[in-house]
A and B are shown apart, each in its own frame.
Chain A
Amino acid sequence: MAYSGWRIIREALTGNAGWAPVWRDPAPRDAYDIVIIGGGGHGLATAYYLAREHGLKNIAVVEKGYIGGGNVGRNTTIVRANYFLPGNSEFYSHSLKLWEGLETELNYNVMHSQRGLINLFHSDGQRDAFARRGNAMANQGDDAVLLDREGVRAHLPYLDFDNVRFPVYGGLLHPRGGTARHDAVAWGYARGADRRGVDLIQNCEVTGIDIEGGKVTGVQTSRGGIKASKVGIVVAGRSGQVAAMAGMRLPIESHVLQAFVTEGLKPCIDHVVSFGMGHFYISQSDKGGLVFGGDLDFYASYAARGNLPMKEHVMEAAMTLMPMIGKARVLRSWGGIMDMTPDGSPIIDKTPVEGLYIDCGWCYGGFKAVPGSGFAFAHLIAQDRPHDSAARLRMDRFAKGRGLMDEEGTGAQHNLH
């Protein structure tokens, strides 16, 4: 049943007795045409677009936990398209356009809020770099406004503009950047996929990938074997383990990234603010909590929690940038498992095994990519050729040294992004 204002009023008057679960909980069948491993944002979006864009039926998503229990429910919810390099630029631009139509598309309120994102700069050199990035974004058809110091002050009066180490020189405003409700994105895609006949199979861990004569024939799971002629791996931080079931080693190392949220406060931060020099970024959730984070802990980890030195570093950066935050109290913190590639950019590609596809390497930016990644991965699986928006997200770019997308300019090497 579709959601609407009328429906809410009617349910309110009838004791909210009419709401029902919005997706089924099916047992796995013996065979599907396509099995997607991983029921996170990207996997659900992939299944949704396979059904929606390519008219395919007979699709299963297998998830070892529950829908929305992975990184899609454990991130800082930022949505943006402010990339510089070809490859990333067109991909994230396409993804943001999908975001802008997502609520209508899914008939689901994902609370997408284009409140504007400001990247701060603190030197003449950084200003030049951001002017260039802004031009690249405009060339891609996205929006970017270079703000001077007073321009930033008009938006963010609470910053410490005269910090001796990082005085604020200005910022690059990306007006269409913002945030969304992370859980709702998973739920919206899950509901949309289920309504188009996709089986969402939870508590079903993949334990093996069946390959015969160089072709994939199905997967083994904790709930039995499932035959499939096409299998997509989209499992974020666990990519290494699942790929190993097909005999592959990936250019991926899993790292921990921490994030923090304060107690709920009245509205005080209206934008997404990114303080790159301090490895710090912040926004305020609709519930009032200040949601912020920093850089990786910078060692391989699956612990889903970080260490104290990075917490200290993030808190110091917060105090450096906006001393008012010292009055807020941190409510909780958590760590996510990030599938880091050597150049910090993602992979959507075929594998050496026929019928086996992989979507991974989202590093610390997977949330904003959910619609674009699902769209492009569905296209690759259905058509057996990449979608234009993701044509450069190739796995062999590291071995060949061509087409690397090293946004930070630090080199395509593990541990530098």
Chain B
Amino acid sequence: MRIPCPHCGTRDLREFTYQGAALAQPEGDWSPDWDSYLHLRDNPAGETRDRWYHNPCGTWVVVTRDTVSHAVTGGIAAREAGA
């Protein structure tokens, strides 16, 4: 896979560290929302949004890709994605 970094362009998979599903962190103390955020997953077979860290430039990227075909269709900075 090649992954688009908003700063550096499309780069090799090896430059990235995977963090997991791009979910919004809940507010406040422990609640079932935290369990949902930390543990439960939609785990889609198809389009998904997940977070990747671009090691050379330090940008968190929210990547849109297909988990069945491995096609990568988009990548924007996590700050702009709000996730």
On A, residues with C-beta under 8 Å from B are: 238-241, 244, 249-254, 298-303, 307, 309, 342, 398-399, 412-415
Digit string of B47-60 for contact with A (CB within 8 Å is 1, else 0)? 01010000000000
Docked Cα-Cα span, A244 to B44, in Å, equals: 10
**What 6 pairs across the A-B complex have the smallest Cβ distances?**
A240-B43, A251-B39, A249-B40, A398-B39, A399-B35, A302-B45
Q: A250-B43, A300-B20, A309-B14 are in contact. List 5 more A-B contacts (CB 8 A).
A: A251-B39, A301-B67, A303-B67, A342-B39, A415-B19
Q: Are B43 and A254 in contact (CB under 8 A)?
A: yes
Is B68's CB under 8 angstroms from A307's CB?
Answer: no
* Residue B42 is within 8 A (CB to CB) of chain A in the complex: yes
- Among B18, B44, B67, contact of A298 (Cβ-Cβ < 8 Å): B18
Specify which of B19, B20, B41, B45 is in contact with A249 (CB 8 Å cutoff).
B41
Q: B residues within 8 A CB of A399?
A: 32, 35, 39
B73 to chain A, nearest CB (A): 15
Interface string of B7-43 (1 = CB under 8 A from A): 0000011100011110000000000100110111111
User: Are A303's CB and B69's CB within 8 A?
Assistant: yes
Q: How far is the CA of A238 from the CA of B18 in the complex (A)?
A: 21
- Report whether A252 and B41 are in contact in the complex, using a CB–CB cutoff of 8 Å: yes
Chain B residues with CB under 8 A of A239: 43
Tell whether, in the assembled complex, residue B68 and residue A253 are in contact, meaning their CB atoms are under 8 Å apart. Answer: no
Task: Tell me what chain B mostly uses at the interface: helix, strand, loop, or mixed.
Answer: mixed
Chain A residues in 8 Å Cβ range of B12:
309
A-B contact pairs, 19 of them (CB 8 A): A239-B43, A240-B43, A244-B42, A249-B36, A249-B42, A250-B40, A251-B39, A251-B41, A300-B20, A300-B21, A302-B67, A302-B68, A303-B68, A303-B69, A307-B13, A309-B12, A398-B38, A412-B39, A414-B20
Cβ-defined contact, B38 with A253, below 8 A: no
Query: What residues on B are CB-neighbors of A342 within 8 Å?
Result: 38-39
Residues of A within 8 A of B50 (CB): 299-300
Q: Is the CB–CB distance between B42 and A240 below 8 Å?
A: yes
Interface contact A301-B70, CB-CB below 8 Å = yes
Q: How far is the CA of A240 from the CA of B21 in the complex (A)?
A: 14
- Residue ID in chain B nearest A398 by CB atoms: B39
| Chain B residues positioned under 8 Å from A309 (CB to CB) | 12-14
Q: Which residue of B lies closest to A244 (CB)?
A: B42
**Contact A300 B43, CB 8 Å, known A415-B18, A415-B20:** yes
Check A252–B70 contact: CB distance below 8 A: no
Distance of A400 Cα from B59 Cα, bound (Å): 33
Chain A residues, CB < 8 A from B69: 303
List residues of chain A with CB within 8 A of the CB of B39.
Answer: 251, 342, 398-399, 412, 414
The CA-CA distance from A299 to B36 in the complex, in Å, is 19
Closest to B34 in A: A399
Are B1 and A307 closer than 8 Å at their CB atoms? yes
Residue of A nearest to B35 (CB): A399
Complex interface: chain A residues within 8 A of B19 (CB): 415
A303–B68 alpha-carbon span in the complex (Å): 4
Name B12's closest neighbour in chain A (CB-CB): A309
Chain A contacts of B43 at CB under 8 A? 239-241, 250, 252-254, 300
List of A residues within 8 angstroms of B18 by Cβ = 298-299, 415
Residue of B nearest to A396 (CB): B35
Which of A241, A254, A301, A413 gathers the greatest number of chain B CB atoms within 10 Å? A301
Task: Give CA–CA (A240, B69) in the complex, Å.
Answer: 18
CB distance from B24 to the nearest CB of A (A): 15
Residue B35 contacts which of A238, A240, A303, A398 (CB distance < 8 angstroms)? A398
In this complex, what residue of B is CB-closest to A303? B70
Known: A300-B67, A399-B35. A241 touches B20 (CB 8 A): no
Q: In the bound complex, how far is the Cα of B50 from the Cα of A307, in angstroms?
A: 17
A308-B14 Cα distance, complex, nearest whole Å? 10
Residues on B with C-beta less than 8 A from A252 are 41, 43
Q: Which residues of A contact B13 (CB under 8 A)?
A: 307, 309
CA distance A398 to B32 in the complex (A): 11
Chain A nearest CB, measured from B44 CB (Å) = 8
Residue picked from B21, B43, B44, B67, most chain A C-beta under 10 Å: B43
Shortest Cβ distance from residue B60 to the other chain A in the assembled complex, whole angstroms: 14
Across the interface, name the chain A residue whose C-beta is closest to B17. A298
Q: Across the two chains, which residue of chain B brings its CB closest to A339?
A: B43
Cβ-defined contact, A253 with B1, below 8 A: no
Complex CA–CA separation, A413 to B35 (angstroms): 11
Closest to A312 in B: B14
How many angstroms from the CA of A342 to the CA of B37 in the assembled complex?
12
